[in-house]
Amino acid sequence: MNALPPARRLRVAILGGGFSGAAVAWHLARAPQSECLSISVIEPRPALGGGLAYSSEEPSHRVNVPAVRMSMAPDDPQHFARWLAGSGELEHDPDAIWKNGDAFPRRRVFGRYVAEHLAPYLGSGLVHHVEGSATRVTRDASGAGWTV
């Protein structure tokens, strides 16, 4: 019996590796048929997940909604809040807890949460970080694909 030819992997290019790009990569990597994908995130920063919004080192830059309303997993709204509670970040940042008990951590902490959840897929090679900038996207001559 002849073996079937290897399935061709669908190549996905995500332009920008801030929260949105990293979250898209994370969701694709967790999809049931993710082994059929080759996911590349094109981002000039050395780490994915923070982007401009969530990479600030300024300690006074905080998220603008309570942590319980932030999550990469729409079906699990407490995802970030649970990660935050177990991360040790709140012990080092008592100002993050407001009088009503809501947590407003530093913005870079949310960036770290995103990066840590994407890290296993980067480590496995399922997601690739292309450290650079995309300057143009063009349709290839056959019209069947794109060149970034």
Q: What is the pLDDT of residues 38-92, one digit of tens each?
A: 999 999 999 999 999 999 999 999 999 999 999 999 999 999 999 999 999 999 9
Has residue 133 got a pLDDT over 90? yes
Fold assignment, 10-147: FAD/NAD(P)-binding domain (3.50.50)
SS3 of residue 28 by DSSP: helix
The reported pLDDT for the residue numbered 145 is 86
**φ and ψ of 38, to 5 deg:** -120, 110
| CB burial of residue 84 (10 Å; 0-12, 13-18, 19+) | buried
Has residue 2 got a pLDDT over 70? no
CB 96 within 8 A of CB 89: yes
More confident call, 7 vs 148: 148
The reported pLDDT for the residue numbered 7 is 62
Listed in sequence order, the residues at least 6 apart from 82 whose beta carbon sits closer than 8 Å to its beta carbon are none
Has residue 1 got a pLDDT over 60? no
Q: Where along the chain do its domains lie?
A: 10-147
The reported pLDDT for the residue numbered 9 is 78
* Sign of the dihedral defined by the CA atoms of residues 105, 106, 111, 117, in that order: negative
